[in-house]
Chains A and B, each alone.
Chain A
Amino acid sequence: MNENEHNFEELKKLLKLKQHEVPPPGYFNNFSGQVVSRIRAGEAGGAQTYVERLQSEAPWVVNLLRIFETRPGLIGGFATSLCLLLVLVVVFADRSDVASKNLLTVSDPSATMGSSVASMPVPSLVAASDSSGIVASTNPVTSLQPVATLFGQPASGSLFQPAGFAPASQ
């Protein structure tokens, strides 16, 4: 660095000329008075913009915005990662819903029965009987047991009653 400093000696001498540039004589006599009178006139209160207030209260936000300003690619990356995060949250929320339903199925058979009965499209069954002469059995299924097995295959020891259709006896 000393060598570099030595190389810049001429330049540093030249830059000393700047120290001799002075404002008009008497310029500073009234400078502070002008500042104070502007403050008294109420400029200080309204002079602080939203960004300036943000800078004093949360400088990290302003720094982040400055980084985005200088590197536009970063804002794209940031936005992409936000979108990915949102998608992940949605996916995991769905999975947790499925998992909780499965849990309900295992632990509460009546809930499953209730839901399957409730979701049965009754009007469509009636319509089907009208058109083909076959009606679905509407007998209550009392011996139905929950089937909680791997890959939906019934376990060997489980009890279940398959749904059947019988011609209407008239």
Chain B
Amino acid sequence: MSEPVPIVDASMPAGMLEGDLVRRARKGDLDAYDELVKRYQQRIYATIYHMTSNHEDANDLAQDAFIKAYSALKSFKGGSTFYTWLYRIAVNKTINFLKQRKNKYHYSLNDLDFNTENNPDLVALISEKTPVREAGLTELQKKLNEALMKLSEPHRMVVVLHDVQGQSHEEIAEIMDCNIGTVRSRLFYARQQLQSYLSEYAKPA
């Protein structure tokens, strides 16, 4: 789900570049914007979903983020890449939403895909704990989401972007509008917290 999306989409005519799509969308070309949405929908959705642990909320917020980005396209100066700018909108929207909700979480978790059981790391973790693999994974998924939701929004966001989505420190700093040192310290603290919440599964080496 969070695998890198190519910058140039082969399905687009003449492999249209992101910059061209943005320029066209700015002029009101909704087909071009549709292509931009298709490029980033999975990553934006996944980020919001991992932050909220709720599929319906993630759906609404992801759509809102894309709509807001379209309405604000004229203010996009091109100082960063479009996707960083889009991420920033999505992240701010999500954090504002979570603040309004005031820690009242309603879980609506997505199903695990079929590849989960083929992941050797996860299999190793589960097989040590529970004899029934499927039940173990579901339980682990629930505990993992609960542990993530115990983190503050900025700490959770850093963990999601780095450890789940695979973004670099520099990208996260740009998305979250803070310096790299802050990203590193937040990541370290968040991991420590998670490790203590999930001590049953994740022990320090």
Binding site for B on A (CB under 8 A): 1, 4, 6-24, 28, 31-36, 38-40, 43-45, 47-48, 52, 56-57
Contact = CB atoms under 8 A, between A and B. Distances in A.
Nearest to B122: A17
Given A23-B55, A31-B45, A39-B30, A17 B67 contact: no
A32 B34 contact: yes
B11 interface: no
B111 A22 contact: yes
Which secondary structure characterizes the binding site on chain A? Answer: helix
Which secondary structure characterizes the binding site on chain B? Answer: helix
B31 to A, nearest CB: 8
Interface of B: 1-2, 30, 33-34, 37-38, 41-42, 45, 49-50, 55, 59, 62-64, 66-68, 70-72, 75, 109-113, 115-116, 119, 121-122, 125, 137, 140-141, 144, 159-160, 163-164, 184, 188, 191, 194-195, 198, 201-205
A17 B71 contact: no
A17 B160 CA distance: 12
B187 to A, nearest CB: 9
Contacts of A45: 71
28 contacts: A6-B205, A7-B195, A8-B195, A10-B125, A13-B125, A13-B202, A14-B198, A16-B121, A17-B112, A17-B122, A17-B137, A18-B160, A20-B112, A21-B109, A21-B112, A21-B141, A23-B49, A23-B55, A36-B30, A36-B33, A36-B34, A36-B37, A43-B67, A44-B68, A45-B71, A47-B64, A47-B71, A52-B68
